[in-house]
Amino acid sequence: MQQQFSIQDDEAKKFPFVGDKEPLSSLAAEYQSGSPILLEKIKVLDQQYAAIRRTQGDGNCFFRGFMLSYLEHVSVSCCSFCAL
């Protein structure tokens, strides 16, 4: 069990919990040699979203990504409200 925790800690140090914003073109470049269906789906995402953030896949990645997105939305909304 200790070895498993050690491996998880080492992996956690390699990647940040939440990465910087990246354009969706970087995702398309990763899967360029992949399925054409996947590339089409990435193009559809590119029409609706400006960027992606990668999260560390440790089991809490959904919650971490959701909360960061929510807090960014609240921050932008608050700044828009204060500007009125």
Q: What ranges do the domains of the chain cover?
A: 2-83
Residue 75, classed as helix, strand or coil, is: helix
pLDDT digits (tens, 9 = 90+) for 25-46: 999 999 998 889 999 999 999 9
Extract the residue ranges of the chain whose pLDDT is less than 70: 79-84
pLDDT at 71: 92
0.75 cut: is pTM over it?
no
pLDDT at 11: 73
pLDDT at 84: 59
pLDDT at 79: 67
Q: CA-CA distance, 27 to 72, in Å (whole number)?
A: 22
Q: For residue 77, give Cα distances in angstroms to 22, 40, 59, 74, 82.
A: 22, 31, 29, 5, 9
